Amino acid sequence: MTPRGFLGLVILLLAMYCGLDPLKHSAISEFPDFVSHKVDMPPWSLIPTVKDDKNLLQNSEIKFLNQIQGPESMAFDPLGRGPYTGVADGRILFWDGLKWTDFAFTSNNRSELCNPKPIAMSYLKNEHICGRPLGLRFDKKTGDLYIADAYFGLMKVGPEGGLATSLATEAEGVPLRFTNDLDIDDEGNVYFTDSSTNYQRRNFMQLVFSAEDTGRVLKYDPTTKQTTVLLRNLQFPNGLSLSKDKSFFVFCEGSVGRLHKYWLIGEKAGNLEAFAILPGYPDNVRTNEKGEFWVAIHCRRSLYSHLMALYPKIRHFVLKLPISAKTHYLIHIGGRLHAMAVKYSPEGKILQVLEDSKGKVVKAISEVEEKDGKLWMGSVLMPFVAVYDLS
Ligand SMILES: *[C@@H]1O[C@H](CO)[C@@H](O)[C@H](O)[C@H]1NC(C)=O
């Protein structure tokens, strides 16, 4: 056989293997309906190249190491106490200044299945039973805590904590499947995201690989108790935050790596506008007292992830190789977990970039909450909270 013929045979066998996936070793073998969608990426030339050469986030203090797992959101109550955070086993914990105590939970069916496990990822299997609180926000007037639980939808619990009550589990007849983040205005309207109607949080990697566009931004009206869909056909909508004057909110689009702005009042009400193209793929966004937005970037963009977004057929082929989802994920995020936080002006201009590009101290941040000159950074994957002193 000629070398060319041999090469042809190898390619043919590989193509057959990928087509059939006989050993079910691929990252998508358990997802028969998996479809790869194109992502309309912004041109590579428009992607901000900003960097923090000093890797300032490496100066962060690591707090509560191994006392909590996967704290995504950091919330402080109207008295400034906290943080409160939702963790991997489904509880919402409260730091009283000395110790962590149980504050609230979202599942009415907790059992030994929700007991402590060695790493945050090992809770994935039972998240639909134990709950997984992601975005948290206090209503500053009532002290109620609003919760976006990935499995149980939009919920609320009073200042005394305990079992949260359900506010919304569906919209327009379509169940919430991956409730992710929220914010509340002065009238108690809740704006929130449902990242997908197909993939649950425990399959977030497949959602990333698929880039399917069933994500929605919704509004819960406390007077009518109805939930309406404001925006649909979004690719992995994630964090959401109202502007300081409540005239608009911004939300993160995870697959595209972009922030969009949705006007709530004025002549542009109901309109969508581009806000910022991000240097990476975002998780949550939070405003500070000045009305600036801190965006937690889960990972920087890589040329690989950019090209894979643009060419779904190639991505689909690669996903059928006998490579684990975790490995694909690691390649997608650029080889190693790292950390990046970017601050934007209310107009969408980059004001500050903080990084730990090697992931030496801080990794995979989910949220950046600014309080009294400090940044509190949670991570859905890590067993700690990182605190960075801005002064
Ligand atoms: C409660 O959890 C158990 C597993 O611990 C499960 O078998 C059962 O179906 C759950 N019940 C409800 C009502 O969800």
The per-residue pLDDT for 15 is 67
- pLDDT tens-digit readout, 83-141: 999 999 999 999 999 999 999 999 999 999 999 898 888 999 999 999 999 999 999 99
- For residue 194, name the pLDDT band (cuts at 50, 70, 90): very high
Same domain, 59 and 78: yes
pLDDT band at residue 66, thresholds of 50, 70 and 90? very high
**Ligand 1 atom closest to the CA of 112, numbered from 1:** 5
| C-beta of residue 133 within 8 angstroms of C-beta of residue 380 | no
Q: Report the alpha-carbon distance of residue 132 to residue 92 in Å, rounded.
A: 9
| Interstrand relation of 162-163 and 100-105 (parallel, antiparallel or unpaired) | parallel
Query: Does residue 9 have a pLDDT over 90?
Result: no
54 and 185 fall within a common domain: yes
**Are residues 9 and 121 part of one domain?**
no
Q: Does 111 lie in the same domain as 7?
A: no
129 lines ligand 1 (CB under 6 A): yes
Residue 56 shares a structural domain with residue 188: yes
Q: How far apart are CA 22 and CA 310, in angstroms?
A: 28
112 lines ligand 1 (CB under 6 A): no
Domains in the chain, number:
2
Are 336 and 222 part of one and the same domain?
Answer: yes
Same domain, 88 and 19: no
Q: Which residue range is the domain that position 2 belongs to?
A: 1-29
| Cis geometry, peptide bond prior to residue 83 (ω within 30 degrees of 0) | yes
How high is the pLDDT of residue 20?
A: 62
CA atoms within 13 A on the CB side of 210: 25
Q: pTM for the whole thing? A: 0.94
pLDDT at 12 over 80: no
108 and 16 fall within a common domain:
no
pLDDT at 158: 98
In this structure, are 145 and 163 located in the same domain? yes
Ligand 1 proximity of 108 Cβ (cutoff 6 Å): no
| Encoded amino acid at 259, one letter | L
Atom 11 (ligand 1) nearest CA = 109
By the 8 A CB rule, do 121 and 135 touch? no
pLDDT tens for residues 147-163?
999 999 999 999 999 99
Residues 354 and 292 grouped into a single domain: yes
Mean pLDDT of 187-192: 97
Confidence of residue 258 (pLDDT cuts 50, 70, 90): very high
Examine the pLDDT at 17 and tell me if it is beyond 90. Answer: no
Q: In what order do the strands lie in the sheet with 84-86?
A: 84-86, 91-95, 100-105, 162-163
Distance, CA of 339 to CA of 361 (rounded, Å)? 9
